[in-house]
Amino acid sequence: MIKNFHSEVMKLYEQIRKSNELDLQNRKKEIESNVPEILDIENKIQKLSLGLSLAAIKPGNDRESNINKIKNEIMTYKMKKSELLVANGYPMDYLDFHYDCPKCKDTGYIYTSKCSCYKKYLVNVAYKNSDLSISLRSNNFNNFNINYFSDDAFNSPISPKNNMAKIYKNSIIYIDTFNKHNDNLLFYGNPGTGKTFLTHCIAKELIEMGYSVIYKTADDLIAALKDAKFNNNDSLYTSLVDCDLLIIDDLGTEQLSNFSKKELFNLLNAKMLRYKKMIISTNYSLDELTDIYSERLTSRLFGNFTLYKFFGDDLRLKLKRNTIKNSTR
Ligand SMILES: [Zn+2]
């Protein structure tokens, strides 16, 4: 996966360079019509630079003095060019090539090592491929607030807050040891108890660590599996199976058919055989899942996934209520 991402990142750099080249051509055209004199000077500088390279390889006693003479001429013209640009209200570097990253000149590399901007683009490509939209990226551990969860255990042996603290801690361990385990997670429980939020947090961390993550709602996943099967979209199927982590959100909301049940089962098996991990979230209880899916599928889920039960108040309603309360104060 990461290798495919690399060629996508390289394409991005190419696009950046092309667009910067186009911008420069447009700036030149603008100057040509507004202050043509400046472009004349620029042409002279170009010719002199060419002459300079020729003088450098031409043997003879006067080689050194020729070189210096041309260098001085270039310098004079360059100063004249800058003065004219500024006098006409343009920045001094208006006719220079502009790089998004001057460090690597938008190549991604400084000699043989990767530039710091490379990771930024890699993460962008990885996000695009993960199906996680930009708006979901704000779901990250920085915005995680354990105080949203109630301290009151009611009839449970543990309060929602303590339960969440435990799940949170285990999620961090899951991320930190991601390349050392083959654990799959099943988040189940009522809507609005933080399951989807937590899967986004985990996805974000792993993407930024360089793992390939694909996020799909169960509905989208079934649509993708159909596309893969009926349109022979092999690369789509391969990416679902081979990605380091596949997150299936909202299991049970997809259109249930023999096709979806069978393909889902096959996908789980294929991933487990390759030791590729999954996180599944569902609003259903374990009993309800058993009713919905076949014995085969649920025994895979319950036998090969670590189960985490989410419970407590509906956070979405709670947050909404707080916002309303604060805005009417
Ligand atoms: Zn760079």
pLDDT tens for each residue of 93-124 = 999 999 999 999 999 999 999 998 988 888 88
Angle formed by the axes of helices 116-130 and 195-208, to 10°?
A: 140
Ligand 1 mean position to 106 CA, how many Å?
Answer: 6
Residues 240, 228 contacting (CB under 8 angstroms): yes
DSSP string, 57-83: H--STTHHHHHHHHHHHHHHHHHHHHH
What's the 192 CA to ligand 1 centre distance in angstroms? 41
Neighbours of 92 (CB within 10 A): 11
pLDDT in tens, 261-293: 999 999 999 999 999 999 999 999 999 999 988
What is the whole-number distance in angstroms between the Cα of residue 113 and the centre of ligand 1?
A: 10
Expressed in angstroms and rounded, the spacing between residue 286 Cα and the centre of ligand 1 is 49
Q: Ligand 1 centroid vs 124 CA: distance in angstroms?
A: 15
**119 alpha carbon – ligand 1 mean position (Å):** 9
pLDDT at 7: 87
Instruction: Tell me how far the alpha carbon of residue 120 lies from the centroid of ligand 1, in angstroms.
Output: 9
Distance 109 CA to ligand 1 centre (A): 7
Name the pairing type of β-strands 184-189 and 277-282: parallel
The pLDDT value given to residue 137: 65
Q: What is the pLDDT of residue 1?
A: 46
**What is the pLDDT tens value at each position of the chain, 329 positions in all?**
455 688 889 999 999 999 999 999 999 999 999 999 999 999 999 999 999 999 989 888 889 999 999 999 999 999 999 999 999 999 999 999 999 999 999 999 999 999 989 888 888 888 887 878 665 667 788 888 888 888 888 788 899 999 999 999 999 999 999 999 999 999 999 998 999 999 999 998 998 888 889 999 999 999 999 988 898 888 888 889 989 999 999 998 888 888 999 999 999 999 999 999 999 999 999 999 999 888 889 999 999 999 999 998 887 777 766 666 665 55
Distance CA 312, CA 160 (A): 5
The Å distance, Cα 21 to ligand 1 centre, comes to: 17
CA of 112 to the centre of ligand 1 (A): 12
- Cα of 121 to ligand 1 centre, how many Å? 10
Distance 23 CA to ligand 1 centre (A): 19
pLDDT of residue 328: 52
Residue tagged 């208006």 (tokens): 94
- Distance in Å, CA 19 to ligand 1 centroid: 16
**Who contacts 186 (Cβ-Cβ below 8 Å, separation ≥6)?**
279, 280, 281, 282, 301, 302, 305, 306, 307, 308
Give residue 217 CA to ligand 1 midpoint distance, Å: 35
Compute CA distances 95 → 24, 73, 136, 324, whole Å: 7, 19, 40, 53
